[in-house]
């Protein structure tokens, strides 16, 4: 259960941060077919989205439906607001097929894992605030783009390690998702999906280098041993409330 909570929190954080690259629109943009077409063209220009003439009408209809979904949802009393990101002319099925289709058998993996506390533990849980925004404290790096690669597992893992390292050292260092994509391949499958728990174990055993040293390529590659020589962070222990580093960033 705790592993599922960690997955949910990390993935939710990644999705929420994604709105920073979003595109705003006004009520009058929805007034007519022409204004919606104008909105669609502005959106394509903003996100540099190229569509052929043959597919443009269909993409526009999908875009309209997504715009209305965003508009109608934002009129409700929800604790969040939706915006138009660069996927706004894709259907939910298309998005899930491209970005959420994992070849890793998650259910089989979780069934094989221990359901006790394992390496997780709680510390100092009395008197904690009901909520905290780690972005305001400086423990979250800027928005990253995974591109057309199913590497959300790597981004979720890295953002958690970046955050806990900042909390422990007061230094925010952007770490390498690409190292996980290329090198953590015993169970995880790069752009075809993976599990955070396995990625944490990889970092525990091997460390992780910086994004500058091993930049993201949004595709599967061969593990670059030279780039991995300068490992910046290594987890000595994994804790739900505390990740300690063998070597601080």
Q: What is the pLDDT along the chain (249 residues), one digit of tens a residue?
A: 444 444 444 444 444 444 445 688 999 999 999 999 999 999 999 989 999 988 999 999 999 999 999 999 999 999 889 999 889 999 988 887 776 665 565 554 545 554 455 555 566 677 888 898 999 999 999 989 888 888 999 999 999 999 988 988 899 999 999 999 999 999 999 998 899 999 999 998 888 999 999 999 999 999 998 887 666 666 544 443 344 444 444
Give the helix/strand (H/E) hosting 152.
helix 152-169
d(CA 55, CA 145) in angstroms, rounded, equals 25
Secondary structure of the chain: what % helix, strand, coil (to 5)? 50, 5, 45
Angle CA 112–221–227, to nearest 5: 100
- Global pTM exceeds 0.85: no
Phi, psi torsion values for 239, nearest 5 degrees? -135, 150
Task: Report, in angstroms and rounded to the nearest whole number, the Rg of the chain calculated over CA atoms.
Answer: 20
Task: Please report the domains of the chain, with CATH numbers, ordered by start residue.
Answer: 2-17+120-245 (3.90.70.10), 23-84 (1.10.287)
**pLDDT tens for each residue of 110-148:** 455 544 555 555 666 778 888 989 999 999 999 898 888
């Amino acid at each position: 259960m705790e592993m599922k909570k960690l997955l949910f929190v990390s993935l939710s954080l990644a999705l929420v941060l994604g709105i920073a690259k979003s595109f705003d629109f006004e009520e009058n943009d929805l007034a007519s077919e022409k204004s919606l077409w104008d909105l669609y063209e502005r959106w394509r220009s903003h996100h540099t989205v190229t569509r052929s003439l043959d597919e443009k009408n269909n993409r526009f209809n999908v875009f309209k439906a997504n715009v209305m979904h965003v508009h109608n949802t934002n009129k409700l009393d929800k604790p969040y607001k939706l915006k138009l990101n660069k996927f706004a002319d894709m259907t939910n099925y298309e998005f899930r097929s491209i970005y959420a289709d994992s070849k890793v058998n998650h259910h089989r993996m979780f069934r094989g894992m221990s359901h006790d506390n394992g390496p997780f533990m709680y510390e100092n849980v009395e008197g904690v605030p009901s909520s905290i925004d780690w972005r305001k404290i400086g423990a979250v790096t800027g928005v990253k783009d995974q591109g057309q690669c199913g590497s959300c597992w790597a981004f979720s893992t890295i953002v958690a390690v970046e955050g806990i390292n900042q909390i422990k050292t007061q230094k925010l260092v952007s770490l390498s998702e690409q190292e996980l994509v290329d090198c953590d391949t015993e169970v995880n499958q790069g752009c075809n999906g993976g599990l955070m728990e396995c990625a944490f174990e990889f970092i525990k055993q091997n460390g992780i280098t910086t994004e500058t040293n091993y930049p993201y390529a949004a595709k599967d590659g061969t593990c670059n041993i030279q780039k991995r020589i300068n490992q910046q962070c290594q987890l000595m222990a994994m804790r739900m409330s505390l990740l300690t580093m063998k070597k601080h960033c």
